[in-house]
Structure 1
Amino acid sequence: MTVKEVSSFLNVHPKTVYKWTEERKIPFIRVNGLIRFKKKQIEDLNNHRDFSFSEQAFLQSKFMIPLPEYDKMLLKGRSALSSRSSKRWYYGFGKVYTRKTKQGKIRYYIEYTGRDGRRKREVVRKAQTRSEAVLVLQKKAAESFDSEHSNPRPKEISFQEFSTLYLENYSKINKKSWKCDDYALNAHLIPYFGQFKLNDITPLLIERYRAERLETGVKKSSTNRELALLKKMFNLAIDWDYVRDNPVKKVKLFSEKDNLKERVLSQKEEIRLLEETADHLSPIVLTALNTGMRRNEILNLTWVHVQLKQRIIHVTKTKSGKNRVVPINDVVYEILKEKQKHSKSEYVFVNPETGKPFKSIRHSFENACRRAGIKNLRFHDLRHTFACRMIEKGCDIETLRDLLGHHSITVTQRYIHTTLDRKRQAVELLSAQNGADLSHICHMDERETKDRSSIPLFTVN
């Protein structure tokens, strides 16, 4: 038998037959590469297969009340929507509709909402009348409701066991920063939640964990990152049928509006910093100040992505995964040109001691800042400094967004910082514009004061 013959015999769509063959739910053979079926096996399957919600037995039942009366009670809107090839009846819990097959037969379908909140559309096999289709719709809707509210017991698993599943099956596959998840789990979350079952972790327990973390001096933003990780893990646990609810959704994160670090390197600080940086660090610092590239983007930069003739850098290994092009100015051009003369590696910035790319420049950067007397400066602040200087030179925010590689201008706005001097200059502009008028008003006040002083307070007749 062919696929078409089997679909007609079983009263299903041919795509369903193909799906069953892929899932090995129906016996088949291949003849010259084509899918074929043995008639005896298909007949046995049809005689013994278990229809969804036991349709064969269920369709033998009858309405307790006549269908017209049932329609009057529950049918919504117009009695039926009709077209040449189909009819539809809308009830409060779903709908029944018909379609004509190529052979001209009427086939009944039902549509309802499953326990996952998604619409389900299914053909009602063996249904010959609308009454039978409505009966199937009733039972399917009831089963969906019961399964949603019966609260079946999810699979038991401890937080420590699920952490391993999360790291191996999601974090390492989908996140570049999976090592941050690994550290947060092993250093903080597993020691506290590790022995608890996922279903035993409550919002109160999470609040207690956060309170203990804050007592140790941890910043609120750090606890927000940990709870964000915890929230993602529980969302996956719901998808993987380990829990039904996410307790982290009931815990409000701390506001971080006041935690934005506004640190911009001044021109004087830049001079002192460059005087104290090591020879291998100075080109990296200057590149950051003149391109706005992130630290890892600079350290992982290869010559393949540098085009000195066109004066552009193709940034590929980005935080957002979105490639971008950064123009090269004169300062960066001279740095790269000098580096290329002596380069023997595919990487632009190489550790002179190992001949390999730098893994970290944190200590050397902090030591340079300490020697230069610069406090509270992170390497990432060089990116902020680039953004601020670009705005001061008249760069529009959309161009700056493209240079920084942001998806949204809202993110770019966080990088724009206005110095106190620029604020003072802006206020003085208003003063200069209205200076004459203000002066005139001040002189009028003085004259009025003199005039009032010449008027006697009392008159004597």
Structure 2
Amino acid sequence: MATISKYQLKNGKTRYQYNIYAGTDKGTGQRKKIHRRGFTSYKSASDAAKLVEAEIISNKRNVTPQKAWNLGEFLDYWITHLKLNVKEGTRIVHRENIETYIKPRIGSYPLTEYTLVEHQRFINGLFSEKGVGRKKQGLSWATVKSINGTLSNALKKATQLGFIESNPTIGVEFSRKFKPQKRELRYYTLDEVNIFLETAKQEQQPSWYPFFLLMFDCGLRLGEDLALRWSRVDFNKRTLTIDQNRLYRAEADQKRQLRESGEVIDDSYLSITLDNPKTEHSSRNVPLTARAYTALLELRNKQSALQKVVTINPNLQSDPSSDFVFRRFYLTAGNVGEPISSRGAEGAMKRIAKNAGLKHLNVHGCRHSFAVRLREAGVDMENIRDLMGHVDLTTTRMYAEVTPKIKEDAMSKLEDYLNSSN
């Protein structure tokens, strides 16, 4: 039985929370409790608690894997109890694929009866289903590949556990007619980068120019850029220490859950979610270019000149958010607010490109442009790999592709060689 109680925020607003007894841990003998807070009404807290209680009852009925499970039930068990040794960002992608695409369409299939025939029909349908995807004519190639990856991963584990004899996703084919023919813009040329950055300087928010500059000049991933803190910037050595990644997908998932529970979204109590970098090689020290060093120094001075830094979570006893490098400026109020969001970065990228008269490039393309610049500058692949934090050269080659400039330089060297031999 859930217990609902109310409490007050520092700003005087009333919020509700619930506590649920979830049984006894068989390993420790201690009582297990589930606690959630932040609801704006008694009813929203009560409704959310009832859903959790129903889930607890369901889990108690299925405490051991049953071959009678349908596909949806197994996927719930897999993502909750079996898929543990992965980054939270990866888990969020799997959850989204399961809840949004898989369960509504094939979740009721008995686990042992889902075959390659059914799976091929499911994949084909995703490509052509009306009313879904950006153009409402079916899902994209990349999205369908991701959904198939989730199912393949889960059913591989089902095979290992002996729930099914073989993985029904093995052997599935993807029709080439749905593969995008036109290659999306993956990087900017050096001139385009400079035009973009000059336009970014005109933005009302002072954070955007140095934010994108670190991606173009230092190759930071979006999550690494969002997670950067002043304590990781060494102005003496002119380097950045990359040792954390911001899980912006987890933050978006938190907002979604709050909306579904009837909560009013207020950044004053949303938490910033950090994790270790993507891979072991992602932890690295990155040298700053001269203009990146200058931009960060100017940003720090601008932040220091304002009256105060506003904490984003007054419910926390200590709020580390004031150490984040890239935060929103509220110039009229004379303060620096919450750290910028991934959604804000995507919007700024699109807006700046439009104002600069450039074709749209997604945010990840900034990092791609960094790799291309390194290769055009003649940096060897091993050093490009280390600067980007890749595990192996295969991934690096996907980024540091051959560009027209590289081809021209190669042919110029050939011409010089041929001329010297005459």
Which TM-score tier does this pair reach, normalised by the shorter chain? Answer: 0.5 to 0.7
CA contact (8 A) 2:199 2:356 kept: yes
Letter in 1 for 2:278: K
| Structure 2 residues not aligned, in runs of 5+ | 1-26, 28-64, 129-136, 245-276, 310-321, 331-335
Q: 335-344 vs 321-330, which deviates more? A: 335-344
Aligned: 1:320 with 2:279: yes
| 1:219, distance to aligned residue in structure 2 (A) | 2.9
CA contact (8 A) 2:384 2:396 kept: yes
* Matches of 2:74 and 2:395, distance apart in 1: 33
| 1:355, distance to aligned residue in structure 2 (A) | 1.5
Aligned CA distance change for structure 1 residues 287 and 437 (closer, same or farther; 3 Å): closer
The aligned residue for residue 405 of structure 1 is 389
The aligned residue for residue 108 of structure 2 is 195
Q: How does 1:210-249 map to 2 (within 5 A)?
A: 210-215=123-128, 216-249=137-170
Q: How does 1:73-84 map to 2 (within 5 A)?
A: none
* Matches of 2:84 and 2:388, distance apart in 1: 26
CA contact (8 A) 1:154 1:244 kept: no
| 1:411, distance to aligned residue in structure 2 (A) | 0.9
| 1:394, distance to aligned residue in structure 2 (A) | 2.5
Partner of 1:249, secondary structure, is coil
Decide which of 153, 162, 165 is 2:77's aligned counterpart. Answer: 165
Decide which of 262, 277, 287 is 2:214's aligned counterpart. Answer: 287
Decide which of 358, 377, 391 is 2:340's aligned counterpart. Answer: 358
* Matches of 1:421 and 1:394, distance apart in 2: 11
Partner of 1:248, secondary structure, is coil
| 1:172, distance to aligned residue in structure 2 (A) | 6.3
Aligned CA distance change for structure 1 residues 326 and 429 (closer, same or farther; 3 Å): closer
Letter in 2 for 1:298: D
Partner of 1:325, secondary structure, is strand
| 1:160, distance to aligned residue in structure 2 (A) | 1.6
Aligned CA distance change for structure 1 residues 324 and 347 (closer, same or farther; 3 Å): same
The aligned residue for residue 375 of structure 2 is 391
* Matches of 2:293 and 2:75, distance apart in 1: 47
CA contact (8 A) 2:193 2:216 kept: no
Letter in 1 for 2:376: E
Aligned CA distance change for structure 1 residues 175 and 437 (closer, same or farther; 3 Å): closer
The aligned residue for residue 274 of structure 1 is 197
CA contact (8 A) 1:262 1:417 kept: no
CA contact (8 A) 1:264 1:417 kept: no
| Structure 1 residues not aligned, in runs of 5+ | 1-22, 24-152, 439-461
1:418-439 deviation per Cα after TM superposition (whole angstroms, max 9, x unaligned): 332432343344345446999x
CA contact (8 A) 1:155 1:241 kept: no
* Matches of 1:175 and 1:253, distance apart in 2: 28
The aligned residue for residue 92 of structure 2 is 179
Aligned: 1:372 with 2:356: yes
* Matches of 2:87 and 2:408, distance apart in 1: 44
Aligned CA distance change for structure 1 residues 313 and 391 (closer, same or farther; 3 Å): same
Mark the structure with the bigger radius of gyration: 1
Q: What is the aligned-residue identity percentage?
A: 24
Length-normalised TM-score, structure 1:
0.57
* Matches of 2:82 and 2:66, distance apart in 1: 20
Partner of 2:337, secondary structure, is coil
* Matches of 2:278 and 2:70, distance apart in 1: 32
| 1:254, distance to aligned residue in structure 2 (A) | 7.1
CA contact (8 A) 2:376 2:406 kept: no
Partner of 2:384, secondary structure, is helix
* Matches of 2:381 and 2:296, distance apart in 1: 27
| 1:330, distance to aligned residue in structure 2 (A) | 1.4
CA contact (8 A) 1:303 1:348 kept: yes
* Matches of 1:163 and 1:155, distance apart in 2: 13
CA contact (8 A) 1:289 1:382 kept: yes
1:374-396 deviation per Cα after TM superposition (whole angstroms, max 9, x unaligned): 22411111111111111222222
Aligned CA distance change for structure 1 residues 257 and 218 (closer, same or farther; 3 Å): closer
Partner of 1:351, secondary structure, is strand
CA contact (8 A) 1:388 1:416 kept: yes
Aligned: 1:264 with 2:187: yes
The aligned residue for residue 34 of structure 2 is none
**How many residue pairs get matched?**
287
* Matches of 1:156 and 1:187, distance apart in 2: 23
Aligned CA distance change for structure 1 residues 324 and 428 (closer, same or farther; 3 Å): closer
CA contact (8 A) 1:264 1:382 kept: yes
Aligned CA distance change for structure 1 residues 183 and 387 (closer, same or farther; 3 Å): same
* Matches of 1:204 and 1:355, distance apart in 2: 53
CA contact (8 A) 1:398 1:409 kept: yes
* Matches of 2:188 and 2:219, distance apart in 1: 13
CA contact (8 A) 1:158 1:197 kept: yes
